[in-house]
Structure 1
Amino acid sequence: MSLIAGAVLTSIFLILEGHKTWRDAGTEIAELLLCALGIDREEAFQIARIELPPLLEL
């Protein structure tokens, strides 16, 4: 839990300071967490950058 909270908090500060975009920060957090769960770094990189399907329209 601390890993997630720390990554999110750090990303928020980087975004507010203008060093990262929301998209870049989110992708990097996803990649970090996938690696922490034991997924190979290359595979985590690819998974974190897969385009998500569009949300359902109501």
Structure 2
Amino acid sequence: MWNQLIQQSIIDLGGDWNVPESRIYRSGILNQYTNHWLCNTYSFIVIHCFVFLAAIVGRSRK
């Protein structure tokens, strides 16, 4: 399912970040056109870092 979504997005954008004719040329994998691939990657990372830090603080209080 994810593979099909990503492949279709790349086709719709005119190619990946290495194709000069594409909309995401030289943008890298994280940009405004591809952030829906992982439900906004930045939010995903921030939430996981918060949970990780909360777990560390919770264990240190025992």
Q: Same fold (TM over 0.5)?
A: no
The structure, 1 or 2, with the larger RCO (C-alpha pairs under 8 Å, 6+ apart) is 1
TM-score normalized by structure 1? 0.36
